Copies of this chain bind each other. A is one copy, B any other.
Amino acid sequence: MITLGYALLGLLARQSRSGYDLIQSMENPVGFFWHARRSQIYPELARLEEAGLVTHELVEQWDRPDKKVYTITETGLAALREWMTAPMARAPDRDEFTLKAFSVWVSDPTAAAPLFRTHEQLHRERQAIYEQTVREMEERWGRAELLRLDSPRFASYATLRRGIDYERSYAEWCHWMVEMLEGQHAKEGDES
């Protein structure tokens, strides 16, 4: 099965949702680690249902279009558990922005610097969003709940921690690049 399928199962294991809700969840902060378009989600839901991993219930609404609310089945939960603990190889790394760094030498440093400056900003913003989310979670459920291993809150918290580390380390690297490109490498220490 496709990774997207497990992403959807992971969301449905927490709570039943419509396709539209799933699309929202995939776009919002918590879904930062996997991304998909509507055109991929609806067919994938159909495939999950065909495989018996989810079922749907039609919910009629008077004020807006009717929706199909999907619920994970026991089979679906079992599939999610199996995927969860299945040994897995490193995913091939793919980052177009880092790829740019690999060719930074061909361009004028003063032309390249703004690019890295912008990305430093983008990553710091994302970091701030994740940190804010963690703070909100702490206020809402308390720190103890976030550390209860069988709680979805813990899983969200763990994921967010990864996100925060990722964004911070990315932003720091961008910052270093800007310093280099702007010729202010006086601060540059040695951390071989």
> B-contacting residues of A (Cβ < 8 Å)?
3, 6-7, 9-10, 13, 30, 32-35, 77, 80-81, 83-85, 87-88, 90-109, 111-112, 115, 118-119, 122-123, 126, 131, 134-135, 138, 147, 149-152, 154-156, 158-159, 161-163, 165-166, 168-170, 172-173, 176-177, 180-181, 185, 188, 192
Contact = CB atoms under 8 A, between A and B. Distances in A.
A44 B154 CA distance: 44
Contacts of A166: 93, 166, 169-170
A34 B85 contact: no
A88 B118 CA distance: 9
Nearest to A35: B92
Contacts of A112: 84-85
B173 A162 contact: yes
28 contacts: A10-B103, A13-B103, A13-B106, A33-B98, A33-B99, A34-B95, A81-B106, A84-B100, A85-B107, A85-B108, A85-B115, A88-B115, A88-B119, A90-B123, A91-B95, A93-B166, A94-B94, A98-B163, A101-B162, A102-B156, A104-B149, A109-B149, A138-B192, A147-B180, A149-B180, A149-B181, A166-B166, A168-B169
A23 to B, nearest CB: 14
A10 B81 contact: no
A156 B115 CA distance: 18
A98 B160 CA distance: 9
A94 B33 contact: yes
